[in-house]
A and B are shown apart, each in its own frame.
Chain A
Amino acid sequence: MKGAVLRPLLPLLGALSLLALWQICTGLRLIDPFLLPGPVTMLQSLVDSLRAGPLLHDFLATIGRTLLSLLIALLIAVPLGILLGSSEKLYRAVEFIVDFFRSTPATAVFPLFLVFFGVGDSTKIAVAAFGASLVILFNTAYGVMNARKTRLLAARVMGASRLRVLVDVTLWESLPQTFIGIRSGVSLALVIVIVAEMFIGSRDGLGHSILDSQMLFEMPKMYAAIFLSGALGYGLNAVFLMIERRFIHWGGK
C-alpha cells in the first residue's frame, strides 16, 4: 500500500536528489561555482534567456531543423523500406550498404556533405535526414519482412491481390517497428543537428548557443542551453511515444 502510493513519485524523487546533490556541491564549494553554478542560478538564467535573450529563438531553430530533417527522412525511408522489405532478395542485396552507413558515425560525413550542400542550413538538415533515414529504413524494412505470414495468408485466401495485401496487411503489420525507427531517428536527428550547429558555421540553434556561451565563459547560459537540449530530446521522444501508443494501439498485443 505504501509502495503503491510512492511509486509514481519515485522518478521525481531521483530528480530532486540530483538537484539537492548539485546544490550541496556548489554550496560547499566542492566544485568551483564559476565552472558549475548552482541549480537555482542555472534555472534563473534559463528563464532570463528564454524571456529576453536569443535562447527561445535558438530552441525553435533547433526544433525546426530536427523536424524538417525527420520529415525528409520519413518521405525517403518509409517508401524505400517498404519496397526493400517486401522483397527479401532486394533487401539482402542492399543490406550490407544499409548496415555499413548505419554504422558510420553521421558526423564523419559532415565534410562530405559540406562539399555538396555548402555552409548553411541545408548541410545540417541533410546530414540529420541521412542519419535518421537509415535508421527508419532499416526498421521499416524489418517490420515489413517480419509481417506475420498467417495474416498475409489470411488476406490472400480471402481474395486480396498482392497490392491489397501490401496496403491492408503488410503496411499495418510494419507500423509498430516503423515507429520504433521513427523514435530512434528523431533522437539521432537531434544529436546531429546540435553537433552541426556547434561546428558548421551557425548563427542560431541550441548547439550554437552552448558553444558560444562556453567560449564567452557565460557558464549559467551554457548550462541553461544544455538543459534545454535535454528537455527537447526527452520531450520529442515523449511526444512520439504518445502518438505511437494512441495510433498503434495493438502494438505488442
Chain B
Amino acid sequence: MPLPTAAQTNAASPIATRPAAAERPAVVTPLKRNAGIEIKGLVKRFETATLYDGFDLTLPGEKITAVFGPNGCGKSTLINMIAGILPYDGGSILIDGKPIKSTRVAYVFQNYREAMFPWLRAVDNIRYPLKYQKLDPAEGERRLGKLLADFDVRFDINRYPYQLSGGQQQLVSIMRALIVQPEVLFLDEPFSALDYELTLMMRDQLQRVIVEREITTLLVSHDLDEAIYLSDHLLMLTRQPTRIADFVAIDLPRPRRVATLSDDGFVALKAHCLSVFEREVRRGGGGQL
C-alpha cells in the first residue's frame, strides 16, 4: 500500500471503497513521496558531556533505516530527538520538509509492558491513537481489520494486555503504531525482550508490513543481524561525541528470509559492518571486543 498522504487521509472514502485486489503498491501511485528526514547542525548536550555537536544527516523517505553503534553512543537519544520526545540544544530536524509537530509519527517502545495501557483491552489500545486523528470511525475499523489480517492475528484482541504473551503484547503495540498510518515509524529495540524464535517470526511479519506500506522507518537495534536483515540502510554511529561512522546501503533482495542470514551477500555486509564497529569501539578506548 502506498504511503498515506495528507490528501488521502483527509478524503478517506477512496481508500475505503477501493477493492481489496487494488491494494498493491503497483496499482495506486502515491500522490506525494515522503522526502525523508533532514538533520542539520544538531546539538545535544548533557550535564557532563556533549553527545551531538553539529551533527548532519539525511535519511531517505519510505525506507527502513537501522541505527547501530557502540553502547552509549546515543542511538536512542537520536531517534527520540527526531521523534520529538527529547528536546535538543541546537540545529534543526525536518521530516519531509516539516517540523515534527506537524508530522504524524508512531513509536514502538522496547518495553511493551510499560507502553501499553493495561486498563484498556488490546483492541482499544490499538484504537487509542485514532482519537487524535480526524478520521471517519469506519475508516479506523477498516484499518484495524486490515492490520489484523496482515499480521495474521489469531489471539483474542478483546483480552487485556496483561493476559497476552510478550510477543502478542508487542504485536498489539506495533499495530497501535501502524493504525495511524504514520509518516515516520520509530522502533526502539522492539524485539529485545522476546525470545529468539518469536523474534525471527516477528521480524518477518514486520518487514512484510512496513515494506508493503512504504513507511519511513527508523529502527534502533543492538543486534547487528537484525539491523541488517530489516533495513535498507544501516547508519553506524561512533562513540561520543557522536558522528557517522558509516552509512551502509543494504541492497539484499526482499522478501528476506531466515536463509538470508547465511547468504553470501549478507555475510559480506555483516563482516564490513563488524569491522567498522570494531574500529569505532577501539578508537573510543573501550576495546572489549
Contacts and interface: CB of A to CB of B under 8 A. Distances in A.
A164 to B, nearest CB: 8
A94 B111 CA distance: 33
Chain A interface residue bracket vs B: 10 to 19
A153 B84 CA distance: 10
Contact of B119 (A148, A158, A160, A172): A172
Interface string A136-177: 000000000000101101101111100000001100100100
Nearest to B186: A157
A89 interface: no
Contacts of A116: none
Interface stretch (B36-44, B101-109, B149-157, B270-278): B101-109
A156 B115 contact: no
A175 B119 CA distance: 10
B160 A249 contact: yes
Interface string B87-125: 000000000000000000111010100110111000000
B162 A154 contact: no
Given A153-B85, A159-B129, A250 B118 contact: yes
A51 interface: no
B202 interface: no
A159 B101 CA distance: 9
Interface residues of B, number: 20
A158 B115 contact: no
A246 interface: no
A154 B119 contact: no
A175 B107 CA distance: 26
A175 B180 CA distance: 29
Interface in B158-176: 160, 162
A7 interface: no
Most B CB contacts (10 A, CB to CB) among A153, A160, A169 go to A153
Nearest to B86: A153
A2 interface: no
Contact of A151 (B106, B115, B180): B115
B115 A154 contact: yes
A193 B63 CA distance: 67
Given A154-B115, A169-B117, A159 B132 contact: yes
B128 interface: yes
A154 B107 contact: yes
Contacts of B117: 151, 168-169, 172
Interface of B: 83-85, 105-107, 109, 111, 114-115, 117-119, 128-129, 132-133, 160, 162, 180
